[in-house]
A and B are shown apart, each in its own frame.
Chain A
Amino acid sequence: MMINGRELRLSGPRALSEILEGEGYSQDRVAVEMNGSVVPRRAYRETSVSDADRLEIVGFVGGG
């Protein structure tokens, strides 16, 4: 699969919430698009990600 243009090999389908955690993102500080569509925050746990998927993750840091 692709995360922000970088390839990541998965051994099998995984929950989006696990991928976010594995990549070091806090779920409440990101916006996520999968294959060009926004994934609602409430669906991170039930969204299954597999090798063919493309994720775009925007992580936010504080300050404004």
Chain B
Amino acid sequence: MRVTLNGAPVETSAGTLFELRDELMPGRDVAVLNGFQAAADRPLSEGDCVHLGKKGELPSREELESLMSARHSPRVHGAVKGSVVGIAGLGGLGSNIAAALARLGVGRLVVADFDVVEPTNLNRQNYFVSHLGMAKTDATVEILRGVNPFVEVEAHAVRVSPGNAAEIFGGCDVVCEAFDSATEKAMLANALMEGLPGVPLVCGSGLAGYGDSNEIRTERRMGGLYLCGDGESAAGEGSGLMSPRVCICAGHMANAVLRILMGVE
């Protein structure tokens, strides 16, 4: 029968997953059958998609692509791999969105932030002690390389302004607004809706404190503006930004990006 093994079509007489492994890739100890990791042997059917890997080893680019494709389905992988996503701001929202999109296998990320990693960031932003003092753009490039070495990252260590926003994010299929201050959020929304009309914009607003998780939602507003958050919980004294709700909102934003790329929004 014909199956796909690590991205390539193969003809095999093997009747099961482990027979296929022993026949063509002995020694591989991770088996993924049709997107799901198989702990025990399974019968094979015509057209199955198999990935065989080795624990603790970085697969080649082609093998990783095939693994992502098997994990996420060829349709999702094909759509995200060919896409370009912008992230304005690499704080609590942006650093977590960037990691999620790199794990998803988005082909190219355009990220912008002017700041450095500081100790107050560690409660919610996706950086480590080893990054303290580094430009957030440099730290993000390092972290994303560690998550998915084959994602291209274009980093801009500048303050995004009405004058440069359209230039930085021109060519993106979707842009995420991930700034901290309300006026900067509005500045970017206005600059991009005017400068890059037709490019969907995913914004975050209302994610401070420890209010009900389920009040954080994604709403499509206007033509192409998606607003994630509870819309109300501003950061301020007595209502700090904490990892759980920041990550919930970042997850909303990353999934909004995925849904836009998949054409369901």
Contact = CB atoms under 8 A, between A and B. Distances in A.
A56 B222 contact: yes
Contact of B186 (A30, A38, A40, A64): A30
Given A31-B225, A33-B222, A63 B94 contact: no
B194 A63 contact: no
From A31, A60, A62, residue with most partner B Cβ within 10 Å:
A60
A15 interface: no
A24 to B, nearest CB: 13
A29 interface: yes
A62 B91 CA distance: 13
Contacts of A33: 222-223
Contacts of A30: 186
B183 A29 contact: yes
Contact of B225 (A40, A58, A59): A58
A56 B178 CA distance: 21
Chain B contact residues (Cβ within 8 angstroms of A): what range?
Answer: 35 or more
Contacts of A58: 189, 203, 205, 221-222, 225, 227
Interface string B149-180: 00000000000000000000000000000111
Nearest to B241: A63
A56 B222 CA distance: 6
Contacts of B221: 56, 58
Contacts of A40: 190, 194
Contact of B189 (A36, A60, A61, A62): A60
A28 interface: yes
A44 to B, nearest CB: 11
Contact residue range for chain A? Answer: 10 to 19
A41 B190 CA distance: 7
B236 interface: yes
A64 B180 contact: yes
B193 interface: yes
A38 B222 contact: yes
B217 interface: no
Given A38-B193, A40-B190, A41-B190, A61 B222 contact: no
Interface string A38-49: 101100000000
B233 A61 contact: yes
A63 B94 CA distance: 12
20 contacts: A26-B182, A30-B186, A33-B223, A38-B193, A38-B197, A56-B221, A58-B205, A61-B231, A62-B180, A62-B185, A62-B208, A62-B235, A63-B180, A63-B204, A63-B205, A63-B207, A64-B89, A64-B93, A64-B178, A64-B179
Interface of A: 26, 28-31, 33, 36, 38, 40-41, 56, 58-64
Interface of B: 89, 91-94, 178-183, 185-187, 189-190, 193-194, 197, 203-208, 221-223, 225, 227, 229, 231-236, 241, 246
